[in-house]
Amino acid sequence: MAAQGLHRVSITGIGIVSCLGNDLETVGTALREGRSGLVIDPQRTELGFRSPLTGQINNFDPKILSRKQRKSMPDFAVWAYASARDALDLAGLSAAAIENEQTGLIYGCDSSCIAAVEQVDALLQRGETKGIGSGQIFRSMTSTVTMNLNTLLKTKGACWSLSSACSSGGHAIGQAADLIRLGRQERVICGGAQEINWQSMCSFDGLGAFSTRVDDPATACRPFDADRDGLVPSGGAATVVLERYDLAEQRGATILGELLGYGFSSDGEQLSVPSEDGLSRAMQSALQQSGLAANEIDYLCAHATSTPAGDAAEAGNIRRVFGAKTPRISALKALTGHELWMSGAAQVVYTTIMAQQGFTTASYNFERSDEGTAGLNILRETDSKPPGKVLCNSAGFGGTNSSLVIAFN
Amino acid sequence: MTEAEVIELIDSSLAEEFELDRADMGPTANLYEDLGLDSLDTVDMVIVLEGAFEFKIREEEAVRAIRTLDDIHRFVLAKIEQES
């Protein structure tokens, strides 16, 4: 037990299916070399989207599960299963080790749009509800990831999905850590998953929040850069295995990192414009729980999505916490696009990959700051020094903020 | 369509939908105990049969009573005869 009778929380497994790749080596290479996962989807232009830019999952084989198993799963739930399987393998946790009440599942997910569309189409086409099929109800719920993983992995503890827009994945990991810290779970398989289909993105595109820099998809997403013009929607699934530190040590697991702190806050202001202090309160809270001072953080993995207002607000919040001397900062969405519900969890996986593989990814496409994003120590080139003490931010529509402090050394 | 063709169409359609091994699909095979289907699968079984034979299945009680592949064969053959 740590101070105040609370347990320490270790990271023992990670897994990911993203537009940068479907395994840790491929994703690590993309992060190190600055390889973008963003493409043009011509269908979006034909359909009347403002922006055809999107992340894309390539070379993923859904037949890791049977057709019957997949009947109740949208594609992103299958991605979540693949990432969970890889994370559990890395953690060295067997099926028998997780089929118990001390193992939980918490994923961030805030939509399952495609299934809702398909079930309505099926009804209209067939003229009776029994023609919709048995899988659509389970595919269409926002808890589809955790309910399906629970039946596949046979865990018997916590099992729910958490919805908080683009901070869903961050809060899912934070809440999972809190359950372990409080002694209510010994390990939690947690993360985030995000669909990527055009149906789920059309109304967001209509807000004018997406980049329209279509000439070169790899440079379209420009977090903190003066010429940023919007985000690029993306998706996938990310899983982190969190485990009570003492139990992980006892079983001889390789400890990849320690989750030292989780802070949350909400703005209580506007739907789509982040507040001046909301994210800073989450960062302060995470730092406080971690026991670290702000100047002990050596890398900040920013939420920055490349929207003009959002990046400026995050920059202001970072300056509010760190003052004139910020840690090294990069925004990985330059390469991945905005993985929305998944993004807060993906950041934990990406930073763990960097720590494991020995580098810190640059903030690609950043050339110069503007008045709003000035004063940050933005990493312009990939650094051979890996992240040590890290702060990961995520923020969502409505002003819901998550910050996680992780120690890799 | 001969009776043998009807039975073959039923078995091949179900084998594809539920990824069943044809070797396990003898007429006495129990859908639930031997072939691993569950109550949700019967919803999709009805859709598969409706699609394969282009009829509508309204006999919900009769469907609920189905236990073996042979029950399905006899149900579909009777329905085809009834509709002709």
What digits encode the pLDDT tens for the residues A137-166?
A: 999 999 999 999 999 999 999 999 999 999
Q: Which domains does chain B have, with CATH numbers?
A: 3-83 (1.10.1200.10)
A166 in catalytic set: yes
Tell me: the pLDDT tens digits for A305-331?
999 999 999 999 999 999 999 999 999
pLDDT exceeds 60 at position A215: yes
Buried b (16+ CB within 10 A) or exposed e, A144-154: bbbbbbbebbe
Provide the shortest C-alpha distance from residue A141 to chain B (in Å): 17
Distance of CA A55 to the CA centre of its chain: 14
d(CA A221, CA B44): 43
d(CA A117, CA A144): 15
Torsions phi, psi of A120, nearest 5? -70, -45
pLDDT given at position B59: 83
By C-alpha distance, which of A344, A283, A291 is closest to A314? A283
Please give the average per-residue pLDDT across A49-57, as a whole number: 98
Q: What is the pLDDT of residue B83?
A: 85
Chain B: give the shortest CA distance to residue A134, in Å: 6
Report the Cα A16 to chain-centroid distance in Å.
Answer: 10
Is A338 a known active-site residue?
yes
Residue in A253, A241, A141, A245 with CA at minimum distance from that of residue A190? A241
Residues A194 and A16: their CA atoms lie apart, in Å, by 12
CA distance B75 to chain A (A): 19
Predicted confidence (pLDDT) per residue in A349-383, tens digit: 999 999 999 999 999 999 999 999 999 999 999 99
Concatenate the DSSP letters of all residues of A76-134 into one string: HHHHHHHHHHHHHHHHT--HHHHSSTTEEEEEE----HHHHHHHHHHHHHHSSGGGS-S
Distance of alpha carbon A310 from alpha carbon A5, whole angstroms: 38
Taking the C-alpha atoms of residue A55 and residue A235, their distance in angstroms, rounded to an integer, is 7
Query: Binning pLDDT at 50, 70 and 90, where does residue A3 land?
Result: low
Q: For chain B, give the longest Cα–Cα distance.
A: 34
The closest of A316, A264, A324 to A295, measured between CA atoms, is A324
Distance (Å, rounded) from C-alpha A279 to C-alpha A274? Answer: 8
Q: Which residues contact B52 (CB under 8 A, 6 or more apart)?
A: B9, B10, B13
Reply yes or no on whether the pLDDT at A299 is more than 90: yes
- Strand (E) or helix (H) holding A31: helix A24-33
Q: Which residues of chain B have pLDDT under 50?
A: none
CB atoms closer than 10 angstroms to residue B19: 12
Q: Which residues of B touch A130 (CB under 8 A)?
A: 43, 46-47
Phi, psi of A97 (to 5 degrees): -75, -15
Scan for tokens 């002709």, then name that residue.
Answer: B84
Hey, are the CB atoms on B44 and A134 less than 8 Å from each other? yes
Mean pLDDT throughout A85-94?
Answer: 98
Check residue B58 and give its pLDDT: 86
Q: What is the pLDDT of residue A4?
A: 62
Task: Please determine, for residue A36, whether its predicted confidence score (pLDDT) is greater than 90.
Answer: yes
Looking only at the bridges linking them, the beta strands covering A103-108 and A187-194 are: parallel
Active site residue A303: yes
Do A67 and B19 lie within an 8 Å CB cutoff?
yes
Cα A108–Cα A109–Cα A112 angle in degrees, nearest 5: 165
| Cβ distance of A134 and B40 shorter than 8 Å | yes
Reduced to 3 states (helix: H, G, I; strand: E, B; else coil), residue A221 is coil
Q: Rounded distance, CA A103 to CA A289, Å?
A: 23
Preferred mutation among B41, B44, B59, B60 to probe A, highest tally of A CBs within 10 A: B44
Fold annotation for A3-407: Peroxisomal Thiolase; Chain A, domain 1 (3.40.47)
Taking 80 as the threshold, does the pLDDT of residue A2 lie above it?
no
pTM of the model: 0.96
Q: Which residues of A touch B (CB under 8 A)?
A: 66-68, 71, 130-131, 133-135
The confidence band for A5, taking pLDDT boundaries of 50, 70 and 90, is confident
Instruction: List residues of chain B with CB under 8 Å from any CB of chain A.
Output: 17-19, 40-41, 43-44, 46-47, 50
Residues B41, A134: C-beta atoms closer than 8 Å:
yes
Question: Is the Cα torsion angle A117, A401, A170, A226 positive or negative in sign?
Answer: positive
Rounded to an integer, the average pLDDT of A244-251 is 98
Please give the average per-residue pLDDT across A2-12, as a whole number.
84
| Rounded Cα–Cα distance for residues A305 and A270 (Å) | 18
Query: How high is the pLDDT of residue A367?
Result: 98
Give the H/E segment covering residue A191: strand A187-194
